[in-house]
């Protein structure tokens, strides 16, 4: 009996030893597989050429406002980002997700030293703003640049997804947005026949926005009618004078104000909104003039803002 028990114990011990060895081998293989995946390289073509990136980037610096939204939407929190055009330092609608992110200047004035200090493994920017700094940036880390910043944010979004090695996640984000557009179009129905006007106030400047602006693209995706004066495939009419107020008319008028803190833009908006010519607009007389967020409808320019603009459209056209 004692011999049999001893043999049984030895057998159990042997089996446990073999199992442990097997687990260690599996762990080694798994670890090696992860290392291989981490070290795989891919090449991204962009506005400044081709960039080879090793592994999936984990420490990303983003140098555009709309790019910041793209990263967040794909589940990537940047280690560094340019400051939002308005906000302290981030737009309200992304502030909670950006609490631990380092500011590395603005789109137009980068802090190269701050970027280098973060030791990123990927930098994403735009030729439009940062062409002159490209050579410095690529010495710090692989750098990918979009050609420009457009009303149609989707084009840059796809580039960012490639750079991040997250093309599948990027496709999911775009598919969700496209589905939302289709669903909202169905809900809006005949309301899409209403002509939607858009006006922006800045310190010293008034603009009427056309179809190739950020919000103009979204209105076009939904299928909204635009006033004849705004049904144009360009960005905006700048330097508008009060004689052009009739060109602002529509069934519904949305306006947004780029206020930087000195009160000048808000003051200008108030002056124009209370002008007799403005009050004589059909949209004004019908009580269909609405103020909306400049960050959401224009300045942020990314996928998160696009979805929040759709929230506004639902509120103004379906809930009121």
> Is residue 21 scored above 60 in pLDDT?
no
Quick check: 153 and 212 in contact, CB under 8 A? no
> Is residue 100 scored above 50 in pLDDT?
yes
* HSE of 26, CA atoms in CB hemisphere, 13 A: 6
Secondary structure of 71-133 in the HEC alphabet? Answer: HHHCCCCCCEECCCCCCCCCCCCCHHHHCCCEECECCCCECHHHHHHCCCCEEEEEHHHHHHH
Asked if 201 and 297 sit in the same domain, the reply is yes
Q: What is the pLDDT of residues 155-178, one digit of tens each?
A: 999 999 999 999 999 999 999 999
Quick check: 250 and 214 in contact, CB under 8 A? no
Number of domains in the chain: 2
Asked if 270 and 211 sit in the same domain, the reply is yes
Question: What 8-state DSSP symbol labels residue 195?
Answer: B
List, in sequence order, every residue forming a beta bridge with 52; answer none if it has no partner. 43
Q: Is residue 63 part of a domain?
A: yes
Contacts of 272-281 spanning 24+ positions with Cβ under 8 A: 272/201, 272/206, 272/242, 272/245, 275/242, 275/245, 277/242, 277/245, 277/246, 278/245, 278/248, 281/245, 281/246, 281/248, 281/249, 281/253
pTM of the model: 0.86
Q: Is residue 4 part of a domain?
A: no
Residues 162, 65, 201: CA angle, nearest 5 degrees: 140
Asked if 241 and 161 sit in the same domain, the reply is no
Q: What is the pLDDT of residues 224-257, one digit of tens each?
A: 999 999 999 999 999 999 999 999 999 999 999 9
Q: Is residue 180 part of a domain?
A: no
Q: Is residue 34 part of a domain?
A: no
Top pLDDT among 254 and 15 is at 254
Reported confidence tier of residue 5, pLDDT bands at 50, 70, 90:
low
Region 40-59 average pLDDT: 95
For 113, the token pair is 């030293």
Q: Is residue 19 part of a domain?
A: no
DSSP three-state, residue 57: coil
Position 2 scores a pLDDT of: 47
For 200, the token pair is 């922006």
Top pLDDT among 37 and 251 is at 251
Cis? peptide before 89, omega within 30° of 0: yes
The two beta strands, 205-209 and 236-237, are antiparallel
Position 8 scores a pLDDT of: 47
Q: Is residue 12 part of a domain?
A: no
Position 213 scores a pLDDT of: 96
Region 36-62 average pLDDT: 89
Task: Tell me which of 167, 195, 214 is where a domain ends.
Answer: 167
Asked if 159 and 216 sit in the same domain, the reply is no
Q: Is residue 13 part of a domain?
A: no
Asked if 119 and 223 sit in the same domain, the reply is no
Task: Tell me which of 122, 139, 167 is where a domain ends.
Answer: 167
Helix, strand and coil percent figures for the chain, each rounded to 5: 50, 20, 30
Asked if 190 and 163 sit in the same domain, the reply is no
**Which CATH number covers residue 158?**
3.40.50.1980
For 291, the token pair is 């103020």
Taking the C-alpha atoms of residue 310 and residue 268, their distance in angstroms, rounded to an integer, is 27
The two beta strands, 102-103 and 80-81, are parallel
Question: What 8-state DSSP symbol labels residue 250?
Answer: -
Q: Which domain holds residue 287?
A: 186-319
Asked if 161 and 267 sit in the same domain, the reply is no
Task: Tell me which of 107, 136, 167 is where a domain ends.
Answer: 167
Asked if 192 and 315 sit in the same domain, the reply is yes
Asked if 202 and 160 sit in the same domain, the reply is no
DSSP three-state, residue 275: coil
Position 17 scores a pLDDT of: 52
Position 7 scores a pLDDT of: 45
Position 150 scores a pLDDT of: 82
Asked if 156 and 196 sit in the same domain, the reply is no
Asked if 121 and 235 sit in the same domain, the reply is no
Asked if 139 and 246 sit in the same domain, the reply is no
**CA distances in angstroms from 212 to 100, 160, 176, 242, listed in the order given:** 34, 21, 22, 23
Q: Is residue 83 part of a domain?
A: yes
Taking the C-alpha atoms of residue 104 and residue 110, their distance in angstroms, rounded to an integer, is 6
Reported confidence tier of residue 152, pLDDT bands at 50, 70, 90:
confident
Taking the C-alpha atoms of residue 230 and residue 194, their distance in angstroms, rounded to an integer, is 13
Taking the C-alpha atoms of residue 213 and residue 218, their distance in angstroms, rounded to an integer, is 9
Position 20 scores a pLDDT of: 53
Quick check: 210 and 294 in contact, CB under 8 A? no
- Look at the block and give the residue holding tokens 């609490």: 99
């Amino acid at each position: 009996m004692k011999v049999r028990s001893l043999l049984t114990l030895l057998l159990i011990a042997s089996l446990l030893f073999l199992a442990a060895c097997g687990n260690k081998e599996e762990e080694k293989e798994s670890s090696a597989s992860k290392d291989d995946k981490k070290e795989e390289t891919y090449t991204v073509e962009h506005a400044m050429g081709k960039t080879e990136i090793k592994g999936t980037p984990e420490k990303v610096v983003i140098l555009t406002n709309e790019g910041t939204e793209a990263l967040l939407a794909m589940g990537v929190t940047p280690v560094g980002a340019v400051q939002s055009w308005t906000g302290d330092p981030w737009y309200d609608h992304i502030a909670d997700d950006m609490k631990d992110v380092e500011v590395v200047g603005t789109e137009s004035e980068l802090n190269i030293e701050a970027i280098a200090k973060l030791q990123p493994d990927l930098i994403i920017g735009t030729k439009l703003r940062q062409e002159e700094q490209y050579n410095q940036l690529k010495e710090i880390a692989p750098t990918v640049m979009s050609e420009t910043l457009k009303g149609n944010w989707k084009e840059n979004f796809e580039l960012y997804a490639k750079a991040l090695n997250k093309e599948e996640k990027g496709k999911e984000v775009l598919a969700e947005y496209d589905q939302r557009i289709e669903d909202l179009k169905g809900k809006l129905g005949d309301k899409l026949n209403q002509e939607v006007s858009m006006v922006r106030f800045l310190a010293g400047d008034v603009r009427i926005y056309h179809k190739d602006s950020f919000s103009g693209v979204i209105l076009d995706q939904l299928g909204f009618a635009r006033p004849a004066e705004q049904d144009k495939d360009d960005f905006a009419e700048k330097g508008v004078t009060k004689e052009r107020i009739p060109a602002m008319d529509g069934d519904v008028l949305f306006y947004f104000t780029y206020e930087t803190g000195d009160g000048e833009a808000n003051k200008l908006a108030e002056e124009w909104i209370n002008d007799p010519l403005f009050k004589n607009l059909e949209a004004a007389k019908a009580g269909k003039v609405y103020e909306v967020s400049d960050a959401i409808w224009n300045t942020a320019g990314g996928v998160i803002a696009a979805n929040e603009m759709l929230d506004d459209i639902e509120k103004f056209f379906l809930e009121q």
